[in-house]
Amino acid sequence: MEFPKFLRIAVIPLRHIIELNNSDAENPKLSGGLEAAAIELLSKVLEFDYKLFPTKDKEWGRLTDNGTWTGVVGMVYRNECDIGFGYLTVTTNRSEVVDFIPYTIEENAFAVKKPPMVAPAESLAHPFQWEIWLSCLIILITMPILFRIIMGKNISIQRLALRMMGCNVQQAFTIPVNRARDRFLMGSWFAYSAFLSVSYTTVLLSSLTVPLREHGVRTVKQLATAISERKFRCLANRGNVAVSLLKDSVNEDLRTIGNNIIEKDWLTKDRTVKLPKHIEKFVALLGPRYYFHLEYGEEPFTANYLFEDTISSYNLGVAVNKNFCCKEKLAKILRRFMEYGILTKLYHDALFETRLSLLSEDDTRSSFVVLTLDDLIGVFALLGLGYLLAFIVLLFEIASKK
């Protein structure tokens, strides 16, 4: 059967997916978006003209209490349109009234704002964990005593400790060592000091060049704990199937998040995908992973963090009226688009536009990084502290001699 020369297409305007130049006009036109490009390609390959019919209720499609269907699914079901686009999720209930041609898989995940950068003054302590710092302090206190006992030298523990500590900051060891046993002891200390110094310097310079971020919420368990402690909120779109999946999950952390979303009504007012331009601090968003990428960008071009944990996965597809004549031919072309990587290319093109948009909004980017006084304030503060302690010790020495 010959493919129709004209199609009525139901659409729901969505940023990055189907963008219209004037959705309220009688004959709106496509202006951009992932599925908009797919519609244009289908029109050229199958040689058909079309007219767009945006949904008035701005919904994908759900069964109401009076037995009617809303949104794109309702328009296709009532034969007001032949096919429907709009990032439609394939569900069992919808498949009873319309047919679907799946073209990709989407996932639900959490997104949060990245935590702030670590203050430059704190960077001096970040190269090592506190356990390592404590171990270094214990070694620095005990080793001079142990070395003095083994070496049997007539030297004060304070002087030996200062010389051994100087090795950690690449200073020369000026105490003479003659016996082979003593050389072995000091050689082991030199090796320890060299490894410690190089490790610390390497991590410190890298953290100054690429600033570190504070430890934020990055896992489902951390998010559930933060929500339980009333430190975080989790927002979701009304009608998102993932909310009910969270509520009925066997995982306690997911149940905690789902119950809080429902009980505290952390849901949007309508049932369309709506994402804020910027994610607020102490707020997590539950939504489609790849749509998050289109809206907020991918690493390292984004100011937000997307959880690696996937809450659920589902098929996205094109809704087709059950009496449509050429479903097989339409499905065949869409399968070719998937097999030849055309849909993947369209996604990456849209992702590239998002990246350019994010780069154009960031006026602070520079071709090179310059260390400022703020970056090195911790070094100068440590130097001042050392001078202060030296001055205090000097005062004690003067007082003791008197």
The three state secondary structure string of the chain is CCCCCEEEEEECCECCCEEECCCCCCCCCEEECHHHHHHHHHHHHHCCEEEEEECCCCCCCCECCCCCECHHHHHHHCCCCCEEEEEEECCHHHHCCCEEEEEEEEEEEEEEECCCECCHHHHHCCCCCHHHHHHHHHHHHHHHHHHHHHHCCCCCHHHHHHHHHHHHCCCCCCCCCCCHHHHHHHHHHHHHHHHHHHHHHHHHHHHHHCCCECCCCCCHHHHHHHHHCCCCEEEECCCCHHHHHHHCCCCHHHHHHHHHHHHCCCECCCCCCCCCCCCCCCEEEEEEHHHHHHHHCCCCCCCEEECCCCCEEEEEEEEECCCCCCHHHHHHHHHHHHHCCHHHHHHHHHHHHHHHHHHHHCCCCCCCCCCCCCCCHHHHHHHHHHHHHHHHHHHHHHHHHC
CA 71 to chain CA mean position, Å: 31
State residue 79's pLDDT score: 93
Q: How many CB atoms lie within 10 A of CB 249?
A: 17
CA angle 93, 95, 100 (to 5 degrees): 145
Residue 364 pLDDT = 47
Give the fold, CATH level 3, of 6-104+315-354: D-Maltodextrin-Binding Protein; domain 2 (3.40.190)
What's the CA gap between 130 and 201, in Å, rounded?
17
Cα distance between residue 85 and residue 320, in whole Å: 9
Contacts of 33 (CB under 8 A, 6+ apart): 14, 15, 16, 17, 18, 19, 350
List b or e across 50-74, with b for residues whose CB sees 16 or more CB atoms inside 10 angstroms: bebbbbebbbbbbeeeeeebbbbbb
**289-296 vs 342-361: helix crossing angle, rounded to 10:** 40
Rounded Cα–Cα distance for residues 142 and 274 (Å)? 61
- Give the whole-angstrom CA distance, residue 171 versus residue 349: 56
Do 126 and 118 contact (CB within 8 A), yes or no? yes
d(CA 246, CA 252): 9
The domain ranges of the chain are 6-104+315-354, 112-117+214-313, 124-210, 374-401
Query: Quick one: pLDDT at residue 52?
Result: 93
The pLDDT, as a whole number, for residue 312 is 85
- Token digits for 65? 């209490």
User: Each residue's pLDDT tens digit in the chain (402 positions)?
Assistant: 788 899 999 999 888 889 888 766 778 888 888 899 999 999 999 999 999 999 888 888 888 889 899 889 999 999 999 999 988 889 888 999 999 999 988 888 999 998 887 766 666 777 888 888 899 889 888 888 888 888 776 777 777 888 888 888 777 777 777 778 778 888 888 888 888 888 888 887 777 777 777 778 889 999 999 999 999 999 888 767 788 888 888 889 999 998 998 888 888 776 666 678 888 889 999 888 888 888 888 887 788 898 988 888 889 999 999 999 889 999 999 999 998 999 889 888 888 888 887 777 665 444 455 667 766 776 787 788 888 888 887 887 787 776
CA distance 286 to 133: 39
